[in-house]
Amino acid sequence: MKYNISFCIFYLTFSLYGQTEIKKDTSRVLEEIIVQSFQYNRPLKETPVALSVVSRAALSRFNNTSLVSAVNTIPGVRMEERSPGSYRFSIRGSTLRSPFGVRNVKFYWNGLPLTDGGGNTYLNLFDFDAVGRLEILRGPGASLYGAGTSGVVLMNHPSPTKNQVQVSSVGGSFGLQRYQTSATLGNEKNRFFFNYAHQQADGYRQQSAMRRDAFNAEGKFSLDTKNFLQASVFYTDLYYQTPGGLSLSQYNTDPRQASTTIGSAVAQQAAVHNKTIYGSSSLEHLWSGRWSTRLGVYGSYTDFTNPAISNFKKETDQNIGGRLTNQYEFSRLSWKGKLNFGAEYQYIDSPISNYVNQNGVSGNIQTDDRLSAQTIIAFTQAEIELPSDFFLTTGASANFLTYHFSRSIGSSPGSQQRNFDPVFSPRIALLKKIQNNLSVFTSVSKGFSAPSLAEVLPSSRVYNNSLAPELGINYEIGLRGSVKNFSFDVVGYDFELAQAIVGQKNGSGASYFTNAGNTSQKGVETFLSWQRGNSRDRTYDLKTWVSYTFTHYRFINYEYNNISYSGNQLTGSPSSTLVVGVDFFVKKFYANLTSTYVSRIPLNNANSVYASDYFLTGARIGYKNLFAKDLPYELFAGVDNAWDQKYSLGNDLNVANGLYFNAAASRNFYFGIKISPALRH
């Protein structure tokens, strides 16, 4: 029945366009997307990589409180929210390693690492209006970005072109409140951006409230004609409660309850409190018309407290790092290109103490540990434009990683150091422009992913010094282009991974990790869109799009505790995801409709327990006008999960006691207002 509903929406969407009589507008040109990933800085149609861009317009289609809905429109990408503020982000099956948070995906903020030296990313620190754009690279990016077999995400702050102030407010179901203000100031040479937001929610479930206060500031300065400085800082105070997973019977009886099976999440006041400050600065120098150098440095400090059901964790993370990139452009009679080379350095020092949790208060100390990691990446890449519209990319990196662990209190005190073997990660890609708006590409890349600090010292508090890095080869072929108002992007891939890291949970709910032999991950990612409008006076605009992901992920040669899981579907990944969207704008009114179908998801390696498939529909309508000259405003309202589907989002995987399910919110509504007065010089 749900397949039929999805097909009907798909069919009706295109039928409506076929029946709509719109005067032909020959002057309309589809927006050209410029890609920064892999240092290409060229149109998407000329980049041989599986990549999607989440623009500011795409982010603003939803409730303006999180990135989740917009990211989930991208094929091959899945973002989950177990409770407000608790995110999980995965690309091409990396959910397998994520009991929570982000694993095996490397994030960059304004060109510098956001993922720390231990492999962890606090993606929930960002306010919605702090993010202007995401480039999501699907597949290994180790040739330029280091560890991570599933993908890379480049995040940037908004870049308004005019001076303005913005004030906005959003309210909604389950106690949702958000208040935000920002300002953009400056001129062509110097520009500043400031943003502050407060967001809170009671949550759908017991023990799922959240509160976040986030401030960020960005500055870009032209020092002279050859030197350009960029500086960034953000501070976030985040608190969110963690209700814990439910058994199937608990989920069916009352999905809103908090976990009580191995202890009460409410009584133990299970929650996360994260205070983080992050600062960075980058200087770009133009040596000549061909040579340029960019040097960036960053540092961050995190105060992390986590009263969980079984213990009380206190952690402080101190990160420093930097990235150096040199670029040289060259040309010959029949071809031209550019060479990029450089290095990246990261260091993290992380003292971690665990205590008995006495109803939300830390009791006697159980373990006192200290973890540190040092990562060095040296990389080079050549990009060549050949005759007959061929584009060749070759690149590689050498990766060096060291972990150090010491324990002063707890079982097995002492210290250990591990120097991982250096890893060489090459990539080669070739693109052919068949026509100006049509290209085909193929690539082969090697990826690796060392175990993160959270995996070598998981919540079970048993240090695992033998966990092996993942290694894999990715083969890819893609076709992208546009014909008049229709555009398409189709990618097929085969990723063969060795020593896959799999998360498990013991009877007390604590996580631990093992190497699971090999996996074979094959898939097809498709994005189609059709757009029509009036580009002369912008009186109307009509767009429909379809995002479809098909995966065939299987364990190969995987045996654990004398049980073979070979041939089973990869845990945590649906085989099919379909998202259909319609965006309509006429004069001062707009409407956005999104429907999503996700097939059932295996929750354990044995494939004996599944989360049911689900079908979601959401919509947003809005009105834009002027209160007065230079005083624009926007009113909007919307609904998520309009059909009131019961489903689990952010499931716990391989849980020994069956607590797999984290119920997502039922039907919920939101409304908001945004005022953006322009500032005169």
Evaluate the CA torsion angle 106, 109, 111, 112 in order and state its sign: negative
pLDDT of 665 reads 96
86-91/101-102 β-pairing: parallel
The Cα 662–Cα 666 span in angstroms is: 12
Which candidate, 218, 216, 166, places its Cα nearest to that of 191? Answer: 218
The Cα 175–Cα 165 span in angstroms is: 27
411 by Cβ neighbours in 10 Å (0-12 / 13-18 / 19+) ranks as exposed
Contacts of 156 (CB under 8 A, 6+ apart): 109, 110, 131, 132, 133, 134
Q: Which residue has the tokens 């809005």?
A: 622
Distance of CA 370 to the CA centre of its chain: 28
681 by Cβ neighbours in 10 Å (0-12 / 13-18 / 19+) ranks as exposed
Say which DSSP state 568 is in: P
Evaluate the CA torsion angle 386, 389, 394, 395 in order and state its sign: positive
pLDDT of 25 reads 37
Q: Which amino acid is at 566?
A: S
DSSP class per residue in 580-634: EEEEEEETTEEEEEEEEEE--EE-STTS--EEPPEEEEEEEEEEEEEEETTEEEE
Domains of the chain: 2-20+30-675 (2.40.170.20)
Structure-token pair, residue 565: 């899981």
Q: Which amino acid is at 108?
A: Y
Helix ranges restricted to H, 27-149:
56-59, 68-71, 142-145
Structure-token pair, residue 434: 């068949």
Coil, strand, or helix at residue 95? helix
What are the CA-CA distances from residue 76 to residues 507, 573, 648 (Å)? 32, 10, 19
Q: Which amino acid is at 66?
A: S
Q: Which amino acid is at 143?
A: S
Planar angle of CA 655, 660, 663, nearest 5 degrees: 160
Q: Can you give the pTM of this predicted structure?
A: 0.92
What are the CA-CA distances from residue 178 to residues 134, 288, 552 (Å)? 22, 47, 40
Residue 500: count of CB within 10 angstroms of its CB:
26
Evaluate the CA torsion angle 382, 379, 116, 570 in order and state its sign: positive
DSSP class per residue in 412-472: S-EEEEEEPPPEEEEEEEEEEEEETTEEEEEEEEEEEEPPPHHHHS-TT----TTPPPEEE
Which candidate, 196, 191, 188, places its Cα nearest to that of 231? Answer: 191
The Cα 10–Cα 597 span in angstroms is: 11
The β-bridge partners of 445 are 427, 474
Q: Which amino acid is at 255?
A: P
Which candidate, 74, 60, 172, places its Cα nearest to that of 585? Answer: 60
pLDDT of 535 reads 57
Q: Which amino acid is at 45?
A: K
- pLDDT < 50 positions in the chain: 1-30
Q: Which residue has the tokens 């060096």?
A: 400
HEC readout, 320-369: EEEEEEEEEEEECCCCEEEEEEEEEEEEEEEEEEEEEEECCEEEEEEEEE
Residue 211: count of CB within 10 angstroms of its CB:
17
State which H helix or E strand residue 264 sits in. none
The Cα 94–Cα 78 span in angstroms is: 9
Structure-token pair, residue 55: 């623009």
State which H helix or E strand residue 253 sits in. helix 248-253
Query: How big is the chain, counted in residues?
Result: 681
The Cα 298–Cα 321 span in angstroms is: 5
Q: Which residue has the tokens 């059901």?
A: 309
Which candidate, 87, 114, 119, 116, places its Cα nearest to that of 104? Answer: 119
Contacts of 608 (CB under 8 A, 6+ apart): none
The answer to whether 515 and 555 are in contact (CB under 8 A) is no
Which candidate, 475, 472, 485, 406, places its Cα nearest to that of 444? Answer: 475
pLDDT of 23 reads 36
The Cα 117–Cα 541 span in angstroms is: 45
The β-bridge partners of 212 are 199, 238
pLDDT of 171 reads 98
The Cα 116–Cα 452 span in angstroms is: 10
Structure-token pair, residue 681: 């010089």
Which candidate, 238, 268, 260, 291, places its Cα nearest to that of 87? Answer: 238
Q: Which amino acid is at 198?
A: H
